[in-house]
Structures are given as structure tokens and as C-alpha cells.
Amino acid sequence: MARTFFIGGNFKLNGSKQSITEIVDRLNDASIPQNVEVVICPPAPYLGLAASLVKKSQVTVGAQNAYLKGSGAYTGENSVEQIKDVGAKWVILGHSERRTYFHEDDKLVAEKTKYALDQGVGVILCIGETLEEKKAGVTLKVVDTQLTAVLDQVKDWSNVVVAYEPVWAIGTGLAATPEDAQEIHAHIRKFLAEKLGAGVADKIRILYGGSANGKNAVTFKDKPDVDGFLVGGASLKPEFVDIINSRN
């Protein structure tokens, strides 16, 4: 079946009012195909600004993280309700940097995913292996374990987009080959089909998230289980438009 091409832009801890305005203006001025869904994820202080500036119907705004409580004594956290209130429609959860630097484990990622979905926000769920795990040959076991934690909590995956991120390829300039990515994406879809049914799994979009850029994005074009990209540093640059248009 045809799955809508999905491009996420994770700005990470980068940006200012000026630079984010420039990025959104560039998207507003760009030619973006109707059959592409774009979600830009600036730092939390700029979510409302970005949402207010977006003019293209294909472009929406997402947060980079959210907590699993609606309110309370949780200093420094942002709730799903709050990010919705300022215009965000998506949230990235389980990113390797959250897992590594802030020690978020599979259980917490799963709980946050369930909470966000229950509040009506789409989730870009990140999974992937480290270099050590890749060398040990346990990539598929790692992604299965990460997915299983969420499967234990979430039964409706209609608002989940899975982003496979080989951690060793994030910010390093290294990238899995399109063939490697397709092999792992196909495994992820097969695993989800076993747990959720083939009909559900066929509808879930699986993104590649390891140093995608304007030059290599087009090389994934004919891979049937690569449904888009979660883009890091390149989402801050003009080449982000090239990635968005890499299927056309």
C-alpha cells in the first residue's frame, strides 16, 4: 500500500527566533509535494513561534520531548497538553540522545508514548542500536526489545511513526547503506506484523534517521520499507527542502 512520505526535522538544541523564522520562511516559499508530510521540531521555547509561522498545509510542528504527566511539580518538564496548547501536533520520543544523556529507558519511553497518544498527539518513536551493539551483531534484538516495551503499553499504532536510528550514524556523517536500512526496516515491519497484524504494520511509516542529507536521501528512493527520514543537522539547512523532495 502507499504510505505518505514523512519527513521529520529534529532541530535538537539549536535555533533562535531569527533562525527558526528563516527555516519556516524557506519551507513556506518552497515547492513541497502534496503527498509529503513534514514535521519540524524546534526547541520547546520556539514551538509556538514555528506553529504561528507555518503556512503550508503539509507542514506541522512537533516537540522534541514531553513528560508523562499533565501538570504538577516536575520542574523543567513540558507536558503534552502544553505542547498541544502552543500548536504542536507531534512529539519525538525515545531519541537516542534522550536514552543516552538523560537515561530514559525502554519502560519510560513506552509510558511517555502511551500518554502522548492518549492525549491525541502523534508520536515519532525512535529506536536503534549503538556501535557496540552493531559490532556485537545484536541490532535486531535491540530494536525488537525497544519495540516490545511500547507494544506492551500501546495497542493502537495509527498515530505512531517509527524512526530507526542507528546511533552510530547520528551526527557522525556515517550512514547505513540504503540496502542495510531496507533490511532492518523490513525486519521491523515483519516484527510489528507478528504483534499487530499485517494490515496494521503495512500502514505504519518507518523512517530512517541516521545522518540523512540532501545528497544521500535520494539513494533510498526505491526501498519499499523506507517511508521517509528523521533529519537532524540537515533540517537546519537549505538542503532540508531537497530531502523533502527526494521522492519526486
Give catalytic residues, as residue numbers. 95, 165
- Indicate the angle between helix axes 139-151 and 106-118, nearest 10 degrees: 40
CB atoms within 10 A of CB 25: 12
Distance, CA of 48 to CA of 212 (rounded, Å): 26
Closest by CA to 186, choosing from 157, 143, 130, is 143
Q: What is the CA radius of gyration of the chain?
A: 17
Q: Please, where are the H alpha helices in the chain?
A: 17-29, 47-53, 80-85, 96-101, 106-118, 131-135, 139-151, 178-196, 198-203, 239-244
